[in-house]
Amino acid sequence: MSNLLNSTLSVINVGLSHFADSLDAQGIPTARVKWSPPAGGDPVLARFLRSGLQSIAQKVEEANARAFKHIINAEPYWVGIKRARDVVPGMEPNVILHSGPPISWDRMAPVQQKGILGAVQHEKLAEDEAGALRLVESGAISVRSAMDMGVAGAGAGIVSPSMVVNVCRERNTGKEAYCVPFEGRVGLGVWGVYNPEVEATLHRIETVLGPAIDKALAASDGIPVRNIIAQGLQMNDDTHTRQTAEGYILVSEIVPLLLQADLSNAILQECVDLFVSSERWFHPLGIASALSVLKGIKGMEYCTLLCTMCGNAVDYGIQVSCLGDRWFTSPSPYLTGMYLSPKWSQKDAVPWMGDSCIVEAYGLGAFSGAAAPAVIRLRGGSYQDGIQQSEEMKQITTGVNYNYPIPLLGFSGPPTGIDILKVGMTGITPLAHGGIISHQGGQIGAGVVRLPFECFRDAIHGVSERYGLQA
């Protein structure tokens, strides 16, 4: 057994025994951490966590250690940019995706509804919004959760068959995940906005720029995303709200490939402009990479780590490794943070919407708060607050990812591998960084969200059912 596995197990044992010995005494690491009642104050859950789990505890620990090892050793690469219909399994001509857990049309947030109607028009299945609505209501359009299709939908998460997606592949498993390219401040995929300008941008990337970049990538082994993230976390990026350094590094990686791809100078200039004109081109690559990694632990018996976390502006949903595709949902929470204009406030914002927080399940974003003082500062915090935030998340994770050394953590890595049992024990739920999105679509701020406890409680009961344990 490797040293890594040993040390991971010992960390877990400490957590479990400490909990069993002193449940009521369990407090908070420092005065600055928001206090949360252990087991969310739920006595049934507390009893289950204290004693009901004993019969599978060893198997859980081993499975979680194995999953953690997979996560930190994973090697995601950006390998292509393709039409969704050509790479996403099951992406039939009438399928349109949205972010978050599945939701019925009548409960769906207007911003996602508008995005889906826009995508129907983009697919030329309808000529206007009214026609698109008729198709959706008739059932001719199959509206699906992106995550259920193996796609990460950032923001509104709108993906239709003709749209291009970045393809990221995790080398150790070969598993792929997908996320639409960054569209700027206006766009269909992330913001659910559809108009002639958006259509023109989509058309250009689908027919010219996407194929050009894909050609450049195809002639290479792909671009190593882990290496870029490892550098970015030392350069003030959290890889969720900020990927400024990662975007610059990406330029240095992609330009030499583009220059070798036999493209015209005009197309070269247009492709390069795409990358250098935005700080956030790397964002969907981080998202798709995180999902490609976490697909590798989905369905792992006895593993209690999160493999999916996402929202659709109405429901927030999680999936747990050992429970496969089963969703556990709570009402989607609101972000707190800074609005881009004083005219905006929470009443203008939708609750958490998007699959981008899959990066948190991979140890990035809020879990790497110590890496990014610039992000913490957006909501008035200091670098010490960022360190504190990463330290808090350590209490609900399996270990630290030493492949991602963070200077302010003494070059130790971010807390990684969210264990729903530790969430249950401590009552501390994960944090996620992210953009604040308006009801109309479009970013109006940036901040942080604390996930609801209830979906974790339900997921723990799900584990209990799955293994026939007594609650």
Q: Does 407 bind a second copy (CB under 8 A)?
A: yes
Piece in contact with a second copy (CB under 8 A), picked from 22-30, 75-83, 231-239, 459-467: 231-239
Quote the CA–CA distance of 89 and 87 in Å, as a whole number. 6
Contact 409, 390 (CB under 8 A): yes
**Pick from 256, 301, 324, 346: which binds a second copy (CB under 8 A)?**
256
Nearest C-alpha neighbor of 351 from the set 459, 452, 267: 452
For the bound state, the minimum distance from the C-beta of residue 269 to a second copy, rounded and expressed in Å, comes to 5
Count of residues interacting with a second copy (CB under 8 A)? 30
Contact 311, 317 (CB under 8 A): yes
Question: Is 248 strand, coil or helix?
Answer: helix
Q: Of the two residues 148 and 279, which places its CB atom closer to a second copy in the complex? A: 279
Q: Does 374 bind a second copy (CB under 8 A)?
A: yes
Q: Of the two residues 14 and 208, which places its CB atom closer to a second copy in the complex? A: 208
Q: Encode 51-80: b = buried (16+ Cβ within 10 Å), e = exposed.
A: ebbeebeeebbbbbbbbbbbbbbbbbbbbb
Q: Does 467 bind a second copy (CB under 8 A)?
A: no
DSSP secondary structure letter of residue 52? I
Site string for a second copy, 10-49 (x = CB under 8 A): ----------------------------------------
Q: Which of residues 257-276 bind a second copy (CB under 8 A)?
A: 259-260, 265, 268-269, 272-273, 275-276
Give Cα separations from 325 to 1, 58, 175, 446 (angstroms): 30, 24, 16, 30
Which residues lie below 8 Å from residue 10, measured CB to CB, with a gap of 6+?
Answer: none
For the bound state, the minimum distance from the C-beta of residue 406 to a second copy, rounded and expressed in Å, comes to 9
Give Cα separations from 160 to 90, 115, 187, 388 (angstroms): 12, 10, 13, 40
Q: Does 391 bind a second copy (CB under 8 A)?
A: no
Q: Does 255 bind a second copy (CB under 8 A)?
A: yes
**Pick from 10, 54, 58, 382: which binds a second copy (CB under 8 A)?**
382
**Pick from 73, 227, 236, 438: which binds a second copy (CB under 8 A)?**
236
Q: Which residues bind a second copy (CB under 8 A)?
A: 231, 234-236, 244-245, 248-249, 251-252, 255-256, 259-260, 265, 268-269, 272-273, 275-276, 373-374, 377, 382-383, 407-408, 410-411
